[in-house]
Chain A
Amino acid sequence: MEKPVRVVHYLNQFFGGIGGEERAQTPLEVREGPVGPGRALQQALGTKGTVVATLICGDDYVAEREEVAGPSMRDALQRYRPDLVIAGPAFDSGRYGLGCALACRVARSLGIPAVTGMYPENAAVITHRRELLAVPTGLNTTDMRSIVERMTVLGLKVVRGEPLGPALEEGYIPHGVRKLVTKDRVGYERAVEMLLARVAGRPFVSEILVQQYERVTPAPPVADLSRATIGIVVSTGIVPRGNPDHLPGARALTAGRYSIDRLPRLDVGDWESAHGGFNTKVLNTENPDYALPLATLRALEAEGAIGGIYPWIYSTVGNQTAVGPARKIGQLAAAEFRDAGVAVALQVSG
């Protein structure tokens, strides 16, 4: 018989029996053996494992003081040297979820496998999706026993070093990583079956479930445009004629930074578009201003409608551009604009 797996369990102050919301500021405490839901965990482990200790921390404390709670967890885990950390389940509680996520992340940093459980839309999943191995739960805490059993099965599998299959098969919340597979049937057969199920009201599982997009909070409105400097950033591929930086027509990884200082307009003799995703004939033989409206901005500047135009532009080709490089280009332009006091970024997309 194999040696029992040493398990450390993480709970918040409520499930750890310390108290309700009034005790949410409780710093990390360590108890020997299982506490509360830890008894269900011990039952699920049976002879395969032992809950050697329980870490309990207040929800507010862990969510607001990660820089203190994290090292405390680290000390405790180093002391008990578990083979596995089980955290929660946290259901839809955001702060508890963050606490579970922190316990898992600290464990991982020590090379200890960790499994948690929470509602798939818990804020901790949204924030730490890539790092968490989490069993999906509903909102109902009376499902505790079955959730703990699923966490245990998954945890023991990871401890044994077995590779995990797809999220749906193994029963964990997707990490947002997609992998190529070969299915038993071709796509159009699966599509017809799925549509038949949808129309008949039968359950079906969509093949693309996680659609994570960044939420961008818009900057507050500009109070007075006549005093604002406008910065220009384009994905229309406008470059000095000859394309000195060899900006590609598709899948750009970088942006060019070019001076438009004191230029009244973009002259077709001096500028062109390197974009490969739309027809650039008009830009490249008549007027590149269509893709970077400098003449119009100069007119607005002359009549005092805008305060000024920042003398450097950023230009890339927005054609098959990956998200990562696009984000970097945006951050580069945004940092320079912010440092230079630019109030408005005019973006022309292409």
Chain B
Amino acid sequence: MRLELAAFPVRDVRFGATTRWRDGVLEIDPDEVLEPVRRDPLVERAELAVARPGESIRIVTIQDIIEPRVKATGRGATYPGIVGRPVETVGEGRTNRLSGFTLMTCTPPQDVKRYGLLSSFRPGTAYGDFLDMSGPGAISPWASTVNLCLLVEPVRHLDPDPANRVVQQATLAVQDQLARATLAETPAEVEVLDLTPRPGLPGFVYIHSIVSPEPIYLNPDSTLSTAVYGITRLTQPWLLHPTEVLDGAVCGSFFSGDFYRWFTWPLTNSIVLHMCRRHGIDFNFLGCIMVRTMWEEQRQKELMANRAALMATTLGAAGAIVTPTLRGQRMLDTMAVVRACEEAGVKTVLITEEEDDEDGSAPPLLVTAPDGVGLVSTGDGSAPGPFPPVQRVIGAGPIGDHWHAEQPAPHGRYGTSHLNDVWGFSRLSCVDY
């Protein structure tokens, strides 16, 4: 498949009387853009706010981060399948993207007690679920993008899943309008991603683990995790063409019980894009394999790993980059994939966060990697700190004053990650001392 990515870089955002992209400036009519969101009777409040690189701003209550994209030509719709969008196969034709820009949706945290779960986490624990736009804490990729924050508060009586549907609907309604503002304009740059294999190069696949919310929320149609064409249930591995992933075929953040992991932007803007760009130069990018995790039996985990490895060998892969999503029991599924690939003759490199080393008394990985596997560390979830006070905090719902104050450096450990970077989009890592 061949996809043209047409870039419309965003240097700045202005609120105005119309919504259009012109010479790097995205003008937004907030009333127009928010109209379909505010029309939803399940939305209590919706606002927009802008966070630019270098501003003294901290963003909290982030639900997901996406780069607005729209199909200019070719089948289907970007971010397909979720909240009723078409499921036509994407990944061909031309996709317009607002590059250097994100839509950051913020929403108040949901309450899992409604599902009969006890309150899950120890009170007073800092999750590091904030992003700084300036200062020493501006280490995320989104500290250098112009971010439009969409603050959405669903009506209060909703359960987490229907509330999440409302938020996803709002996000996509806004992203569609913003991305469509490029349709009559000329792109600054067009990247042609033609993944026809070139002879003489080794074949690589990308294998990513995606957590299924089905066993957690006892709901096969839950929206509370990353979807493949809208599907989140615990299914066997999916094979996708890399350009489908760039069109958002795998999207949606994971809700862990009291906070969200922002998974959409990393899927469209990090490793898959990088591998597409290196296709035909260093290797042939043969495909993306999405392996659902959360299987309850070891044999099920092994079966899924075997299926993923068979997909890789059937595609003719010599190598695979493997990424987990969440740690804990999901790491068993991911390491089973690594093991199955190695046994099938597919050489692997695993990108992963590490466990807290507990001052050198605990091992860096929950399960041992097979001998010889290349491991790339994205750190242990900690971040250099402290994060100095900020002038402005952007977030949805009631926001505590404490967010304006200095924030301590998050201590990295399973469940606490400042960036939750399993894709390697940051430069953080750990080394041996």
Please tell me if the beta carbons of B215 and A187 are within 8 angstroms of each other in the complex.
Answer: no
**Inter-subunit contact A194/B374 (CB<8 Å):** yes
Chain A residues contacting B364 (CB-CB under 8 Å) are: 178, 208, 210-211
CA distance A199 to B425 in the complex (A): 23
Bound-state CA distance A181–B431 (Å) is 7
CA distance A334 to B413 in the complex (A): 27
Docked pose: A130 CA to B432 CA in angstroms: 12
Cβ contact within 8 Å between A194 and B349: yes
CB under 8 Å from chain A, chain B span 256-281: 257, 270-271, 274-275, 278
CA distance A277 to B356 in the complex (A): 18
Task: List, in ascending order, chain A residues with CB within 8 A of B380's CB.
Answer: 178, 180
Contacts of A274 on B, CB cut-off 8 Å? 118
Most A C-beta atoms less than 10 A away, residue of B118, B319, B428: B118
Contact partner of B363 among A167, A211, A251, A319, CB < 8 A?
A211
> CA separation between A90 and B120, bound complex, in Å?
51
| Chain A: CB-nearest residue to B353 | A187
In Å, the complex CA distance between A181 and B121 comes to 29
Q: Is the CB of A192 within 8 A of B118?
A: no
- In the complex where A187-B351, A196-B282, A211-B364 touch, is A182 in contact with B357 (Cβ < 8 A)? no
Question: Given A166-B431, A187-B376, do A272 and B115 touch, yes or no (CB 8 Å)?
Answer: no
Contacts of B297 in A (CB 8 A): none
A261 contacts chain B at the CB level, 8 A cutoff:
no
B255 interface hit (Cβ, 8 Å) = no
Size class of the contact patch on chain B: 35 or more
Whether B271 lies near A188 (C-beta < 8 A) is: yes
Is B319 in contact with A199, judged by CB distance below 8 angstroms? yes
Q: Is the CB of A208 within 8 A of B116?
A: no
Contact with A along B410-433 (1 / 0, CB 8 A): 001111000001011111111111
CB-CB nearest in chain A for B361: A324
B204 touches A (CB below 8 Å)? yes
Also in contact, A249 and B425, with CB within 8 A (given A179-B433, A279-B218, A320-B413): no
Among candidates A167, A197, A208, residue contacting B354 with C-beta atoms closer than 8 Å = A208
Q: From the candidates A174, A184, A285, name the one contacting B427 in the complex (CB within 8 A).
A: A184
Given contacts A130-B360, A208-B375, A281-B115, contact A186 B426 (CB under 8 A): yes
Specify which of B356, B365, B429 is in contact with A322 (CB 8 Å cutoff): B356
Across the interface, which residues of A come within 8 angstroms of B374, CB to CB? Answer: 191, 194-195, 197-198, 204, 206
Q: Could you pull out 18 A-B pairs where Cβ atoms are within 8 angstroms?
A: A167-B431, A175-B360, A176-B357, A177-B357, A178-B357, A179-B433, A181-B430, A182-B384, A186-B424, A187-B351, A191-B321, A192-B278, A204-B374, A207-B431, A212-B363, A249-B122, A281-B115, A322-B413
Q: Which residues of A contact B (CB under 8 A)?
A: 130, 164, 166-168, 174-192, 194-200, 204, 206-213, 243, 248-251, 272-281, 284-285, 319-320, 322-324
Closest 9 CB pairs of A and B: A187-B424, A276-B120, A174-B432, A249-B120, A188-B424, A248-B122, A177-B360, A323-B362, A281-B116
